Structure 1
């Protein structure tokens, strides 16, 4: 009887079409109704009508705050966004599993190596649990190299503000980092460890030091993020990295030690239009969700 009553209760709730949820997520990701309409192949007026019905007739909650052409989610909208992403992912899994119960194949993905330990383990664990027969081939290189590759189905890259491409994964604040044993005052000329000589993050670091008149030298350079962390962990230099990637054995340097704020870097997901498949699209959704957790 308890089970029947719960089913009856569920039947009293209005249903939300997955197309409406897909449009809602597109608005949240794109920041506006017009760009979301382009994403889901609907007109701006059709998108507005869908959201009006969702707000007024279905949920009876305000989901958006409008600021000119920009659209922000209300607290209720943020709650719905989390559920919407989960529902759409499960919806995709149902169709992929039942229509193609033996999804088998190879997906090549590219990512800078410092993202691998922080984000990829959880993403790949969830994905492999749902699709155990799919083989994933990972290529870990710097963003400039990855941008030149044409054999990768999915690529995670870093982009500077105003130069974004692909889909938004997350924004990350860049910070100055050193070993707890590194004493800034002992170095008249600051030794820097950098991952890319011409990267925009290196340019930000140099500009920040030059703005305060701090002398420095490029002491260590490697395209391998683990190598840079090893040098910094040994107390040989300072570096810049995304705040979420700072390990527990390193410390963030602040203004009290003479280090100014740095810019925010954008993490983006690129999909190769020549390598689209149900497998790559499914993995892309897992990556999008995993970076937002």
Structure 2
């Protein structure tokens, strides 16, 4: 039987250690060698040496553009980042599957329901395929309610810029959305569909319209996102939502129709320290990758 090193030699390519890939991903995620070193438990000089060898000896490609203490990925670095994430994910799956072939348990996760259709299928489908004996219990509530719960192992929440908590998954642009049949000029007071008067989306909506001097009315409100979308799809009102959640049935309303810009929204992953386990950490990896797509 051929050894791994013999296979590498026959292939004509050097191998890349997963520790090096893990360091590379940490640099890409946190924008610097020092912070990455803290995360992978290496000194800044050790991290620099690892990356120098990766660039010069292994790949012979420039992976970073350096700007003071900050680093950015080159186009080649962006390509490697995608492969690195996939390799590390597969590496984790191999060890979890072979070392713990009977991973069984229940994981309770929480997320606002507007993320469910957009992100959860791409996360749960591969996870359930890799770990079919793990049961997932989902709780869909507002970010405010989810952050107060203590019975969830993993929680995805929306946070305003400047109020970061947990691990940042992605930043989303907020937009105005309506049905293609909705005519803005027919309404003196713009009808809005909102999740509730205490929702940050509602607060942003009202503040933006008031600053623009535009009349509005809270025509429909529901804690159920599907109900809000049904109203908007019917052409009865306007809503705000994350840009990635705008469906084919909706159109984005812009400044040419008198709609002011909106702040961005950050999505964060929270871990319950009292419920940490190999299962929850594995699912967290899938969630992280799914929200970065």
- CA displacement at 1:8 relative to structure 2: 6.1
TM-score, structure 2 normalization: 0.93
- CA displacement at 1:10 relative to structure 2: 4.8
Per-residue deviation, residues 219-273 of structure 1 (Å, max 9, x unmatched): 2222221111112122221110011111211111111211122122111111222
Q: Which residue in 1 is equivalent to 2:137?
A: 137
Q: How does 1:187-198 map to 2 (within 5 A)?
A: 187-198=187-198
Q: How does 1:81-230 map to 2 (within 5 A)?
A: 81-230=81-230
Distance 1:102 1:161, change over 3 A: same
Give yes or no for contact 2:8–2:15 (8 Å, CA) kept in 1. Answer: no
SS at match of 2:173: strand
User: In structure 1, what is the Cα distance between the partners aligned to 2:8 and 2:50?
Assistant: 27
Give yes or no for contact 2:8–2:14 (8 Å, CA) kept in 1. Answer: no
Q: How does 1:47-58 map to 2 (within 5 A)?
A: 47-58=47-58
Give yes or no for contact 1:174–1:240 (8 Å, CA) kept in 2. Answer: yes
Cα RMSD after superposing both structures? 1.7
- CA displacement at 1:115 relative to structure 2: 0.6
Give yes or no for contact 1:110–1:152 (8 Å, CA) kept in 2. Answer: yes
User: In structure 2, what is the Cα distance between the partners aligned to 1:86 and 1:177?
Assistant: 34
Q: Which residue in 1 is equivalent to 2:25?
A: 25
Give yes or no for contact 1:29–1:168 (8 Å, CA) kept in 2. Answer: no
SS at match of 1:128: helix
Q: How does 1:229-248 map to 2 (within 5 A)?
A: 229-248=229-248
Unaligned runs of 5+ in 2: 1-5
User: How many residue pairs align between the two structures?
Assistant: 288
- CA displacement at 1:185 relative to structure 2: 0.8
Unaligned runs of 5+ in 1: 1-5
User: In structure 2, what is the Cα distance between the partners aligned to 1:266 and 1:59?
Assistant: 34
Q: Which residue in 1 is equivalent to 2:79?
A: 79
